[in-house]
Amino acid sequence: MFSQTRFLEAVRQDNRSRSKLKHILILLSRMLMIAALVFAFAGPVIMPDDADSKGNQSHYVAVYIDNSYSMMNESEQGSMLDLAKQTALNIAEAHGSGVEYLLLTNAMPAAYYRPMSVDKFIEELGKISHTSTIRNFSDIATRAESIVSSLVGADEQVKLYFISDFQENAADIKSLKNTKHLQYAFMQLAPLMQENLSVDSLWFDTPFRRSGQPERLFVSVKNHGESAYSDVPLNLFINDSLKAVSSFSLAEQSEAIVEINFTNAIDGLQEARIVFDDYPVQFDNTFYFDYWLSGTHKILIVEGHSSYGFPKGLYRDEQVFDVDYVALDALNLNQLAAYDLVVLYAVNRIPDGLQSQLESYLQESGVLCLFPDENADIVSWNQLLAGFQSAELSEWTDSVREVYQIDYEHDFFRGVFPEAQEQVDLPNITGSWKLKKRVGIQSEALISFRDEGEFLLQVKRENGFVYLLTSLIHEEYGNFNRHPLLIPVVYNIALNIPGQQALYHESGEGGYLDISNQEITREANIEIVDEELSIIPMWRFTGKSLRVFIPEEIADAGHYRVLRDNEMIAGLAINHDASESEMEFLGAEQIESLISEYDLDVDYFMSGSSEKLKQSIQNIAVGKKLWHWFLLAALAFVILEILLIRFMKD
């Protein structure tokens, strides 16, 4: 007897079906693995939907590399400029050798005005260095459009890559215009730190310089970052010698005024610079300025009809003064411009021609000292004084007036008196003018009488000074002529000559330099030079000064000299554009908002690391490559086959 066998047949059928299914699945996984490998080696890509319409098939690619000084900053991958170059290389790698390249930088040498092969493009990338020239994005786009329009067809577009840190002062996205031949691509490089110190400005506490004079220099230092600084050394060099050292501390995003005290030395050009240490942005760690210490001051004494002439011994015995005397009737008005100081002494009436000439003289940094005669014509004198916005003559008095108060704190007397003294023997004046004041006068009383009248006034006028003494220097009018106060008064009037030029200029701003006391002919050869540069600038003669216009081609910070027929006549200090020191950059959201707000034709905007940018460039320039996904799929199918063989039962 045998048991039932019909159940055994069912088991054999079930095993046969499972084994067949296993074989089919293994076969299918192998087929899919082979298909994935085929696709991987075929190199499939996904092109942008609008690739054809937006000109990605153009024969040209334009690349702008921001090589301004802000790109000295450091990124996670090193120098920002080096990262920009690497990004440009990634662009070239993505687009390949089938296109020609237009390279744009802030400097834009002539070689960049024509397309380059990929090899030439890579070669020129290696030559790019930092430049002080600053160009806005709109300037770059305009330049690119002018070049591209002569190269491509009517409907062809060229992609313009902006590789930059998007510093606010240059990234004028709102000024960009959609053009016929350009499509923009923004690639923002992020600095690792946004820290920087710079000198914002500097100035002296007095408007005049002379040798042997103690000076107070004020330097405005600005912290552009989010970190505080403590006890940073600040060095002053004059003519390559360390003159003074100070220090400062700064909180984040703040400014400080640093005072530096020193004493002027020998006459002549003083080429000075402020130096401090600041990493990594170092282009603005040196701030240049210069000024001139004159060895001789030219003085013209114009005497009126009074029998009391100007005391000849006051200026004559000092080598620092070159004095000429002339009677009012013999005065040549055209010769005023040649003098640093013009003195009108005991003049009765002011001619109309002289008044207008004195106005021009003061505009050219002249100094005018006035001694009205006892019998002065009040109308003509007050017409002159009103033009200077000074107090005016009222009446002459022979009564005794005691000099009572000296403004010791005024710049005019700085360094004259060791300290203010309350009880001191001051002059008594027995003949003087009383003055009347008007609304809006700008005169300052340097020395006053006890009756609150003024003995010596100063008026800052145009670029010069006007001094008014209400008495003459003669024994008939008191003892001022032999008092110790006389010498510091008349000497300071002659020595305190306003500076003839600005302490410094910014590169690229143009402007001009006025140089006084120059005899110029039309054939004169004017040059601006340094150790490596020689430029012939535009110039003209203004009467008292030679006006030299600063060429915009002078871009490097440093000291330059102005030559007339190979003889130095002035110095010129140039500093970099202060806006480059501002470590303020557009954020990603801000950039995207501007693109949307102004509806710019921007293909894409990317911000991030070098590798991320490289991958994004390849995806957009030549399409998104899929080979690695198919390779992963092939590997997955191999693993699936192994799992089927091992774990799926027959």
Residue 404: phi, psi to the nearest 5? -120, -35
Domain boundaries, the chain: 6-44+628-647, 60-193+586-625, 197-294+501-581, 297-495
Q: From start to end of 166-278, where are the E strands? A: 182-188, 197-204, 214-223, 229-238, 241-250, 255-263, 268-275
Q: Collapse the DSSP code of 383 into the 3-class scheme (helix H, G, I; strand E, B; otherwise coil) and give the result.
A: helix
Task: Tell me how far apart the terminal alpha carbons of the chain are, to the nearest angstrom.
Answer: 32
How does pLDDT run across 372-381, given as a tens digit for each residue? 999 999 999 9
Closest CA to 60 of 125, 129, 144, 178: 144
Contact 288, 558 (CB under 8 A): yes
CB 300 within 8 A of CB 342: yes
β-pairing, 321-327 vs 297-303, is: parallel
Q: Distance (Å, rounded) from C-alpha 475 to C-alpha 458?
A: 24
Give, in words, the CATH class of 297-495: alpha beta
Please tell me if the domain spanning 60-193+586-625 has the same topology as the one spanning 297-495: yes
Instruction: Please give the average per-residue pLDDT across 238-251, as a whole number.
Output: 94
State the greatest distance between any 2 C-alpha atoms of the chain, in Å, as a whole number.
Answer: 170
Backbone angles phi, psi at 167, to 5 degrees: -65, 140
Mean pLDDT for 268-292 is 91
Residue with tokens 């003892």: 479
Strand 401-406 versus strand 443-449 pairing type: antiparallel
Confirm whether pTM is higher than 0.75: no
pLDDT band at 575 (very low <50, low <70, confident <90, very high): very high
What is the rounded CA–CA span in Å between residue 52 and residue 334? 74
Report the candidate in 364, 397, 297 with the shortest Cα–Cα distance to residue 516: 364
pLDDT band at 8 (very low <50, low <70, confident <90, very high): low
CATH number of 197-294+501-581: 2.60.40.10
HSE of 312, CA atoms in CB hemisphere, 13 A: 5
Per-residue pLDDT, 413: 84
Cα–Cα distance, 27 to 159 (Å, whole number): 48
Q: How far apart are CA 37 and CA 634, in angstroms?
A: 6
- Average pLDDT value over all residues in the chain: 86
- Whether 384 has a pLDDT exceeding 90, the answer reads yes
pLDDT over 90, % of the chain: 50
CA 101, CA 125: separation in Å to the nearest integer? 11
Report DSSP state, residue 497. P
Answer for the pair 358, 461: CB distance below 8 angstroms, yes or no.
Answer: no
Per-residue model confidence (pLDDT) at position 53: 43
pLDDT at position 56: 46
The top-scoring range by mean pLDDT among 200-214, 514-528, 626-640 is 626-640
* Cα Rg of the chain, angstroms: 40
* In contact, 501 and 529? CB cutoff 8 Å: no
pLDDT tens column, 529-571: 998 889 999 998 765 578 899 998 888 899 999 999 999 989 9
Residue 208 has pLDDT above 80, yes or no: no
What is the rounded average pLDDT of the residues 266-295?
89
Instruction: Say how far apart CA 164 and CA 135 lie, in whole Å.
Output: 12
Contact 176, 598 (CB under 8 A): yes
Q: Among 457, 440, 437, which residue's Cα sits nearest to residue 449? A: 457
> For residue 77, what is the DSSP state?
T
- The string of pLDDT tens digits covering residues 163-175 is 999 999 899 999 9
> What's the DSSP call for residue 477?
G
Q: What is the pLDDT of residue 593?
A: 93
DSSP 401-443: EEEEEE-TTSGGGTTT-SS--SS----EESSEEEEE--TT--E
Of residues 85 and 501, more confidence is placed in: 85
Dihedral angle, C-alpha 183, 187, 188, 189, nearest 10 ° = -150
pLDDT at 612: 61
Which stretch of 238-242, 437-441, 452-456 has the lowest confidence by average pLDDT? 437-441
User: Cα angle vertex 206, ends 223, 454, to 5°?
Assistant: 140
Overall average pLDDT of the 119-130 stretch: 93
- Token pair listed for 162: 């902006």
**Is the separation of the CB atoms in 139 and 171 below 8 Å?**
no
Question: Residue 505: its pLDDT value, please?
Answer: 92
Per-residue pLDDT tens digits for 283-340: 899 999 999 887 788 899 999 876 778 998 888 777 788 999 999 989 998 888 888 8
Tally of residues, the chain: 650
Average pLDDT over residues 484-509: 84
The answer to whether 461 and 388 have CB atoms below 8 angstroms apart is yes
Strands 182-188 and 558-564: unpaired
The single-letter DSSP state of residue 243 is E
pLDDT band at 607 (very low <50, low <70, confident <90, very high): confident
The answer to whether 182 and 61 are in contact (CB under 8 A) is no
Q: What percent of the chain has pLDDT over 70?
A: 91
Distances from the Cα of 259 to the Cα of 203, 269, 270, 418, angstroms = 10, 22, 19, 21
Angstrom distances, CA of residue 70 to CA of 118, 412, 558, 617: 27, 43, 19, 24
Number of H helices, E strands in the chain: 11, 35
Burial classification of residue 230, based on how many CB atoms lie within 10 Å of its CB (0-12 exposed, 13-18 middle, 19 or more buried): exposed
Cβ neighbours of residue 28 closer than 8 Å, sequence gap 6 or more? none
Which residue, 574, 421, 558, 571, is CA-closest to 484?
421
Listed residue (400, 418, 398, 399) closest to 408, CA to CA: 418
Going by C-alpha positions, the residue among 121, 201, 108, 188 that lies closest to residue 147 is 108
One-letter amino acid for residue 350 of the chain: I
Is there a contact between 546 and 518 (Cβ–Cβ < 8 Å)? Answer: yes
Residue 434 has pLDDT above 90, yes or no: yes
In this structure, of 45-54, 303-312, 479-488, 610-619, the range with the lowest mean pLDDT score is 45-54
Assign 499 to helix, strand or coil: coil
pLDDT at 42: 85
Read off the tokens for 420. 């203010």
| 3-state SS, one letter per residue, for 329-359 | HHCCHHHHHHCCEEEEEEECCCCHHHHHHHH
pLDDT of 55 reads 41
Beta bridge partners of 261: 216
Q: What are phi and psi of 347, to 5 degrees?
A: -85, 135
Q: Is the pLDDT of residue 608 over 80?
A: no
Residue 122 confidence (pLDDT): 93
Average confidence (pLDDT) over 583-608: 88
Confidence class for position 442, pLDDT limits 50, 70, 90: confident
Q: What is the pLDDT of residues 96-112, one digit of tens each?
A: 778 999 999 998 887 78
Q: What is the pLDDT of residue 615?
A: 63
pLDDT in tens, 141-160: 999 999 999 888 777 889 99
Give the C-alpha separation, 318 to 297, whole Å.
Answer: 10
Whether CATH 3.30.70.360 fits 60-193+586-625: no
* 195-201-205-208 Cα dihedral, nearest 10 degrees: 150
Out of 432-436, 447-451, 466-470, 616-620, which region has the weakest mean confidence (pLDDT)? Answer: 616-620
The token pair at 605 is: 């905007």
In sequence order, the 6+-apart residues with CB closer than 8 A to the CB of 147 are 62, 102, 113, 114
